[in-house]
Amino acid sequence: MAEAMDSDGTQDARGTHADRVPRPAGPPQVPPRPAQAPGTPPPTDGSAFLAWLRTPRPEAAPGVWRFGHLPRPEEEPERIPARQLISGALIAFLVGWLIWSLLWNGYLGGWWLLPLYAMIPDSWAEPHSFGSVVVVYAYYLAIALGIMVGVGRLGRWNEVWRRYGVPAWRRATPAAERPPAPAEDPAQWNQVRAAGAAEAADRLGAEARSGRMRDVDHARISRAWQGVRSGRHSLATFTGAVLKDGAAACLHPSGDRDLPGRLARHDLVTGQVRIGTTADDPRNPYAYRGTGLALGPELLGTSLLAVGPAGSGKSGRVVRPLAESLCLHALAGRAAVVVVGAAGAGLGPVDAYDVVVRVGNPESVYDLDLYGGTTDPDEAAAVLAEALVGDLADPHPGGDSRRSTTVLAQLLGPYRAVHGRFPSVPELRRLLDGAPEPLRELRKGLTDSGQDSLLRELDARERQLGHPGDVGGVLADRVALLDRPAFAGFFDTSGQSRPFSLRALDHPVRVRIDLPERGHADASRMLARLVLAQFAASVSVREDRSLFACLVLDDATGVITPGAVRGIQRLRSANAGAVLTLRTLDDVPRALRSPVLGAIGCRMALSGLTPWDGQDFAEVWGKEWTEARDVTDRQIIAETPAGKAVHMLRRVITGNAPTARAVTVRQVERERWSASELAHGVPPGHAVLSLTGVRGEHAPPLLVDLRDRHE
């Protein structure tokens, strides 16, 4: 039953999932370190998993690592320096002691005993009376307590107690958490039990307590249960799979229950991955200072752009954790991920992916579908035109490549009608060059089949050949970049290879595409534009949009075009997102910098940014009202001889003239982060990150330490 179900609980009726083909053979990988000695049975205690599952995850602001988070107040409380606090408390104690000593020894008179004499009867005034002793010492105690309360409030003893007393020790050493009530215990699977599947809930609870369940298993089965609640499959199918396989029910088609190794810290209950810690900096809101900074699908759904020079940590500290997290989500049946980068960019081991496309590598098992798996010539022409000449279109946001799309459609439609497939790269190049023989064969095939409408398309293409302004030559030159010996075995359309199509994003697939940047930089940028265009076109026509789809593009140089900006804007409504990195915003046309920063919800500026790039970020982050304090020192002029003598003595002692300080507080509007601060004020290994969620939540620019991923 488990093999017949997708990881989201649905049955794969088509049987064309890209994950079902054999995994490509890659270079030998170093095996992971075993968890125990060989021959040792695995631990049967599930206490670690139960502790992880039962850890509270309170609602928090966007980007806050919710696992075990302790909320902080919105405003920073007034914190007195320790030296001033301790000295004030000690002085208050001495003052109270002095007052009590003066009262006790009679230096202040006996007036403070008059209320006592007025309240007690005369018979209690006899010597050695028990009643008189009790009442008198109770009165002394009340007076002492009154003095203590007064000096304690002046000396802030309550703050000393909170900061250095038992409450501080309790915060430093948290008490052992009590197990939650059965009705609130997530390990009991109460929702499954309440739906009538008590046996399945008991089996899952036993798997969790025995240590056979992992975080990916919990997330995957929770996803399958969501499929039951939404009606995608029946409760009986879910119950049968759980009773048969336990924690291994509803497996991912690859059969994997975890990744070969993890570098980042993940929480699959909330879907977050921790990428750093928000710095304890005055420029950060107090509620964020010192908290973990995490990203998840609810933030990546608005897309992420990270800009920083080489060596600033884009790939290792941002892209790699996000790719790892999305692969875990894919194993749980929640996401489909496509990771694109240069060969050897360190985007994870081969075993962490279901499909690995090595463009230009003859050992690659998978090929890349040049036309995105579509059978519509117009759609294929639009995507291919964006890849070939999208960077040559008018960089104005309204610019497009419609003329190139028309030229390609005039050739792709007739060719598919005659041959039943789209042309290969060499064939497409010859058609765009206007070679007589291929065009003559197309005309003959269309004439024999009576395709009059397509004949008119071919006639229009032939009339445009050689005319000024014809973009066919430019398209042919761009296609020539792919018609190289290194790519001879790729982009095959004859059906003899295994082309991967982004139409497979209907399933929780993990894909990595390695681009041949070495020696083929222009072709790599063209292929990156092709993948982005195909991704934007594919996710918008998916049947199941509950599956989050994400494209991770390690280097987006030359990829940002007017069409790409429009595609990124549409991803949010399709439950999809993109992660893009750039070395500098100079790799984006000037007219597109503001539109792309506006289309992307999460923006990251890493250390080492140039002031010109910082200016663009400063403009998009805007300004805020802040409190400015102006301090003015005014020299005091003495008019009397005594005053002049005192001023002279003060000048001799301090070396400065006597001054009077005036402080003016006013509200001013200033940039959240200026271009100079972004260029020179971000420490190495840090970044400034602003966040926007898919539901509209947003966080201001935060200074984040990307080197600290763990608590």
In the chain, the N- to C-terminal Cα span, in Å, equals 41
Rounded CA-CA distance 179/149 in Å is 40
Rounded CA-CA distance 162/157 in Å is 9
Residue 686, pLDDT > 80, answer: yes
Three-state secondary structure of 623-639: EEEEEEEEEEEEECCCC
Cα distances from 583 to residues 306, 311, 322, 652, 680, in angstroms, run: 8, 10, 18, 57, 17
In the prediction, which pLDDT does 37 show? 40
- The mean-pLDDT minimum among 33-37, 38-42, 199-203, 526-530 falls in 38-42
Q: What is the pLDDT of residues 415-474, one digit of tens each?
A: 999 999 999 999 999 999 988 898 999 999 989 888 888 899 888 988 888 788 888 889
Rounded CA-CA distance 344/342 in Å is 6
Rounded CA-CA distance 325/347 in Å is 12
Q: Average pLDDT of 217-225?
A: 95
Calculate the dihedral angle through the C-alpha atoms of 151, 155, 158, 162, rounding to the nearest 10 degrees.
-150
In the prediction, which pLDDT does 388 show? 92
Cα distances from 332 to residues 52, 186, 335, 380, in angstroms, run: 17, 17, 8, 32
- The mean-pLDDT minimum among 67-76, 339-348, 540-549, 650-659 falls in 650-659
Instruction: Give the range with max mean pLDDT: 77-81, 450-454, 598-602.
Output: 598-602
Which tops the pLDDT comparison, 168 or 205?
A: 205
Residue 33, pLDDT > 70, answer: no
What are 249's two structure tokens? 């029910």
Residues of 316-335 as b/e, b for ≥16 C-beta within 10 angstroms?
Answer: ebbbbbbbbbbbbbbbbbbb
Which tops the pLDDT comparison, 656 or 388?
A: 388
Q: Average pLDDT of 311-328?
A: 94
What are 299's two structure tokens? 């933030």
pTM: 0.81
Helix axes 452-464, 436-449, angle to 10 degrees: 160
CB 578, CB 601: distance < 8 Å: no
Contacts of 166 (CB under 8 A, 6+ apart): none
Rounded CA-CA distance 610/482 in Å is 34
Q: HSE of 536 in the Cβ direction (CA atoms, 13 Å)?
A: 24
DSSP states along 167-182: HHHHHHSPPPPPPPPG
Q: Average pLDDT of 161-182?
A: 69
- The mean-pLDDT minimum among 113-122, 209-218, 574-583, 634-643 falls in 113-122
In the prediction, which pLDDT does 125 show? 58
In the prediction, which pLDDT does 127 show? 57
